[in-house]
Structure 1
Amino acid sequence: MQHSLALHPGQGPIRSATYLPADPSAVLWGRLPCATDSPVLTIDAGTEVTIDTISHEGVLEDQGRDPVAFFGGFGVRREDVLLDAIALAASDRPRDPTIDGPHVVTGPIHVRGAVPGDLLAITVLETLPRVPYGVVSNRHGRGALPGEYPLDAGTVSVFAAVDGEHGTLPRVLGGAHSVRFPLAPFLGIMGVAVAGGSRPHSVPPGAHGGNIDINLLTVGSTLYLPVQVAGALAYVGDPHFAQGDGEVALTAMEASLRATLRFDVLSEADALEQFGRQVGPLAETADLLIPTGLSPDLDEAVQNCVRAAIGLLQARYGMDAAHAYAYLSAATDFNISQVVDLVKGAHARIRKGDFHD
């Protein structure tokens, strides 16, 4: 067998002493964890965990549920198809494609000491591509132009190769020329379990996080999520190599990642002091505070984002609401996270450097 270019389970670099592979017993497919789910891993707050994630592209029913054959059709060698993706596709892991989502999520992870009212902080320390390729898909009834694309019947899956720190895909089917774009790997899904005994669908994001698809959540970023159940029951998935704001075709460059994350807990008192009362996901990078807004209506998603940003500026920097509103209009970009996940998302880019006295 030739040397594999893939990071199969347990092989290659594993940064953390705590490692969670994505074998079928450690993932959910199409649904997100709820309070009654049992953790697949229990850790102390502050622990770093290296987690394998599996892209749903190549394992779905409309792609044959046979990743070896699917990726082989694009010239990928069998040894470069992930063994855990093959195992998942061949498993009896429950998923009903008529009512469940497509995403594979690894977890849940119980974080000791996390209780409702706290914020769970998930910091991205490393994202390693597990394969040298990805897929961008468009399906009927989905995407920003559901009545116009795909042009023909069936699912369109565009293969994208990795070329160093860039992705490439053909400009036209069968053409010799390609388009090249930078890679910026991140996890589209990071979340906490919801209260109760019903698992949420994997597609729409919410206060629990989930499929928020914010492309700023690359290495060095932190996502804060309001804890809903004891232990938080965190999970991750929907790995991307690259995504534009909006994710208009339905998916971006979907491809499996090995991510190392640190899980911290902010007490309710500390969270209120630093961020105010947050009712949904909030992100942070070295330079930015990134409040979010979610709604099935894009206008309402932006409005919710503006409200979250005003509250954040009041709590963090002592601004009054009128001046916070004025500052946001003068100095802050509001971006569309995605428009394809049933619940649409917006996020703001507040520069922390503007508030250094």
Structure 2
Amino acid sequence: MTIRQFLSEAYPTRSRKGAWQDILSEFGLRSDAADQGLESFATASLRGDRQSLLLARLTAGDQTLSPLVRRPGGPIALISLDESLGMRLGSETLLIEAGSLVIVPAVGEWQLCLRKSARMIVLSIADSLFPGHKAGLQTLKAPRHYVATGIAAIFIKTVETAAGEMDSVSELEWRSLEGAIADLFVAIVLQAETHDAAASPGSAALFHRVTLGIERHLHEPELTALRIARLEGISERYLQKLFLQNGESVSNYIRERRLQRARAALVAPGEIRLPIAEIAYSCGFGDAANFNRLFKERFGLPPGAFRSRHLEKLAANTNAEQRGWPLSALVAKRLQQRSIDTGDAFADSDGSEAEAGSSVHHVLAASAATVHWGYFSRALPPVLEIRSGDTVEIQTLTQHASDAPELMIHGDAGAEDVFYWTAQKKSVDRRGAGPIDASIYGRGAGEGFGVHICTGPIYMKDAEPGDVIEVRINSISPRPSNSPGYEGRAFGSSVAAWWGYHYNEFIQEPKARENITIYEVFADEGYAEALYSYRWQPQADPFGVVHRTYDYPGVPVDRSSVEICSPVLEGVRIPLRPHFGVIAVAPREAELVDSVPPSYFGGNLDNWRLGQGSAVYLPVSVPGALLSIGDPHAAQGDGELGGTAIECSMTGDVTVILHKKGELFVELSYPLLETPTEWILIGFSHPNYLAEFGKKGQGEVYANSSLDLAMKDAFRKARRFLMESKGLTEDEAIALMSAAVDFGVTQVVDGNWAVHAIIRKSLFRV
């Protein structure tokens, strides 16, 4: 099984256009982006070859596709998954609705216009898969549009399923799929011809009806032109004339269809052990020796050798690139995925982009008016406007303060304002990107599809898409409690929750449990100590909704309803690693985006290295950038295994710098971290899940993440960074990564799992 992958951001900018054009040329297509430069996000996953069936999932935008001047092969089928597409046909435009099918001819003057991030399936079938129907298919002179009804709906669903499962289907199963898809393809085209043709004995309708009858009786050795004519109620002479008009004789057509059916059966999963003679008889051949001769003449090998070669190829593909245990004994490979990238040196950036002497210091307090809870949005009005080089003292609150409100909320005016919730009023109603009426699970407004309290957004003057925002962390410190009796002390909470990596791996009873540990944070001494812990018990929120698990943020815990365990982690001191888990600019795609899965816009990065003295660079996607900061942590380990860090409200001082497009990087399309000694690139299972999965992205990303995909993305980003910013060749970059770059697990709990690559600056003398 060979799945070919393309991810635009895996390639250095200078080679990206050519690589994308190579992918499209497999289908006989070209893109005007190959002339203009491929700046939009693009991906492709392909399986098959041009000699049989070639199937691909494509994501692309802001370009026009058209056929190559000399395009080989048969028609192309296109299925738009999310958005309507426009196809120009001379002076006219054909609207292709999402979920519908268009079949375009091998040559022509059509153009397919892509906007935004269009997701589509592209299918090309070689003539060899539909012998006997070439003449019928050659009548396709212009693009033909099919809505998802009848046989077209069956074809669309079949192709969508095949495209979605192409990485998990065996080679034997794939060969069976080829035949099924080809038969449906022919049926659709001929059905259209039948509909358009005049109802006469010589029409395409009659030819189509006759070929279907042949398929039903193909297994009969005595099937002849005379028998077919009698079955259809026409003369044998007229039948022969009908087939000659379509390019071949009746006998040749029957023989070809039998050979094609036998070829598929020889390698079909359910028939791989059947004797060759039995397959020959089941396909209508009355003599095994004659079948062997005809098969060798048609396909170049006797049927036995054809089957053996197929099995050898399958075994070779199965064991390719596999160290240790054979692949057949392990879980099937997951689909390869994404990568991203950076540009030229940035380590010595001094903020010269800011106007000399014009920087301003701002204070942004946390209140119900200055935070948004559990989501990012390009539509949020900014709460502060800054210029490049300005500094901001920004207050951030942890959503886990409600785990111990008597320590982290009471007496704190800002926290009390944000967390205020009575039977009559909830000051921050929306908590998450879900429906405001909680019509899915009934948890509460926003459904908890996103949980982090984010301060902002902050509007950066003059920031435009394509620019880069740099956020420097000058200082970060815990927010002191103002609760009576605890004034000046700092506290945090860590939840081992149902979304944690551990949750299905308990060895002690009860095996389905969530545990909360409350810590005191000693900032001056640099450590945290556990005060007490408790197991989550069903909690009724002030609106009366009972939360049996930790499924909605900010539900105040009634201490009398839980059993306090103390002491806990006795004698253990946890070193502090204060940092902001969430630093994000607004994504360009959706109005409301769940704050949990990180992506190209930053977000829930959860990397403890993003603390004092570090910086993060984020690509701007919307005017003003709309920067938000939140999810403050006192400490976290790589992996964040249980589901959270030590979540602790923090106040930070940050400097925000705008780098205009092309000033600092060749191109930056993902979050890049910098410390005084390291560059850190974070690979995600799906680096741009909103574009990759389209409208279903905020659900699909949770179901399709893995460390394998995240590691691939981290490798690709590191490779591109070293090639573009350090001028290394690909071989040099790989050699350096293997010898000196540290890869580690960032987190396995945020929906979009992450692996980071740490590149030490000391590796480079200049």
The answer (yes or no) to whether the contact 1:171–1:179 under 8 Å persists in 2 is no
Aligned residue in 1 for 2:673? 283
Determine which of 588, 608, 617 is the counterpart of 1:224: 617
Number of residue pairs aligned between Structure 1 and Structure 2:
324
Determine which of 547, 564, 567 is the counterpart of 1:175: 567
Determine which of 694, 707, 723 is the counterpart of 1:298: 707
Judged with a 3 Å threshold, the aligned counterparts in structure 2 of structure 1 residues 97 and 198 are, in CA distance, closer, same or farther, namely closer
> In the TM superposition, what is the alpha-carbon distance from 1:99 to its structure 2 partner?
4.3
Q: Is 1:92 aligned to residue 427 of structure 2?
A: yes
Aligned residue in 1 for 2:647? 254
Q: Is 1:161 aligned to residue 161 of structure 2?
A: no
The answer (yes or no) to whether the contact 2:476–2:650 under 8 Å persists in 1 is yes
Aligned residue in 2 for 1:214? 607
**CA deviation digits over 1:187-216, x for unaligned, max 9?**
000010011451210111011100010110
1:203 maps to a residue whose letter is: V
**Aligned-partner SS, 1:269:** coil
> In the TM superposition, what is the alpha-carbon distance from 1:143 to its structure 2 partner?
0.7
Q: 1:121-270 alignment to 2 at 5 Å? A: 121-131=470-480, 132-140=490-498, 142-148=499-505, 152=510, 155-163=514-522, 164-169=525-530, 173-175=565-567, 177-270=570-663
Structure number having the greater helix percentage = 2
The answer (yes or no) to whether the contact 1:119–1:225 under 8 Å persists in 2 is yes
Q: 1:67-106 alignment to 2 at 5 Å? A: 70-72=404-406, 76=407, 82-90=412-420, 91-93=426-428, 94-95=430-431, 96=445, 98-106=447-455
Determine which of 328, 345, 349 is the counterpart of 2:737: 328
> In the TM superposition, what is the alpha-carbon distance from 1:313 to its structure 2 partner?
1.0
The answer (yes or no) to whether the contact 2:401–2:648 under 8 Å persists in 1 is no
The answer (yes or no) to whether the contact 2:741–2:759 under 8 Å persists in 1 is yes
The answer (yes or no) to whether the contact 1:36–1:196 under 8 Å persists in 2 is no
The answer (yes or no) to whether the contact 1:294–1:344 under 8 Å persists in 2 is yes
1-side partners of 2:464 and 2:642: how far apart? 38
2-side partners of 1:136 and 1:333: how far apart? 27
2-side partners of 1:229 and 1:105: how far apart? 18
> In the TM superposition, what is the alpha-carbon distance from 1:100 to its structure 2 partner?
2.5
**Aligned-partner SS, 2:680:** strand
TM-score for the superposition, normalised by structure 2: 0.41
Determine which of 310, 315, 329 is the counterpart of 2:724: 315
Q: Structure 1 unaligned runs (5+)? A: 1-15, 64-69
> In the TM superposition, what is the alpha-carbon distance from 1:171 to its structure 2 partner?
9.2
- Rg comparison, structure with higher value: 2
The answer (yes or no) to whether the contact 1:158–1:169 under 8 Å persists in 2 is yes
TM-score for the superposition, normalised by structure 1: 0.85
The answer (yes or no) to whether the contact 1:334–1:348 under 8 Å persists in 2 is yes
> In the TM superposition, what is the alpha-carbon distance from 1:278 to its structure 2 partner?
2.9
2:502 maps to a residue whose letter is: L
2-side partners of 1:21 and 1:238: how far apart? 15
Q: Is 1:114 aligned to residue 463 of structure 2?
A: yes
Structure number having the greater strand percentage = 1
- How many percent identity over aligned positions? 32
2-side partners of 1:178 and 1:277: how far apart? 49
Aligned residue in 1 for 2:375? 31
2-side partners of 1:277 and 1:99: how far apart? 34
The answer (yes or no) to whether the contact 1:118–1:271 under 8 Å persists in 2 is no
Judged with a 3 Å threshold, the aligned counterparts in structure 2 of structure 1 residues 333 and 78 are, in CA distance, closer, same or farther, namely closer
**Aligned-partner SS, 2:719:** helix
> In the TM superposition, what is the alpha-carbon distance from 1:38 to its structure 2 partner?
1.0
Q: Whose relative contact order is higher, 1 or 2, with alpha carbons under 8 Å and at least 6 apart?
A: 1
Judged with a 3 Å threshold, the aligned counterparts in structure 2 of structure 1 residues 171 and 257 are, in CA distance, closer, same or farther, namely closer
Aligned residue in 2 for 1:350? 759
**CA deviation digits over 1:160-204, x for unaligned, max 9?**
112331111269832372310211210000010011451210111
CA RMSD of aligned residues (A): 2.1
1-side partners of 2:631 and 2:571: how far apart? 25
> In the TM superposition, what is the alpha-carbon distance from 1:85 to its structure 2 partner?
1.8
The answer (yes or no) to whether the contact 1:122–1:262 under 8 Å persists in 2 is yes
2-side partners of 1:227 and 1:41: how far apart? 17
> In the TM superposition, what is the alpha-carbon distance from 1:283 to its structure 2 partner?
0.6
Q: Structure 2 unaligned runs (5+)? A: 1-359, 421-425, 432-444, 481-489, 534-564, 686-704
2-side partners of 1:267 and 1:77: how far apart? 40
2-side partners of 1:179 and 1:116: how far apart? 47
1:160 maps to a residue whose letter is: Y
1-side partners of 2:409 and 2:613: how far apart? 33
Judged with a 3 Å threshold, the aligned counterparts in structure 2 of structure 1 residues 114 and 151 are, in CA distance, closer, same or farther, namely farther
Aligned residue in 1 for 2:399? 56
**Aligned-partner SS, 1:146:** coil
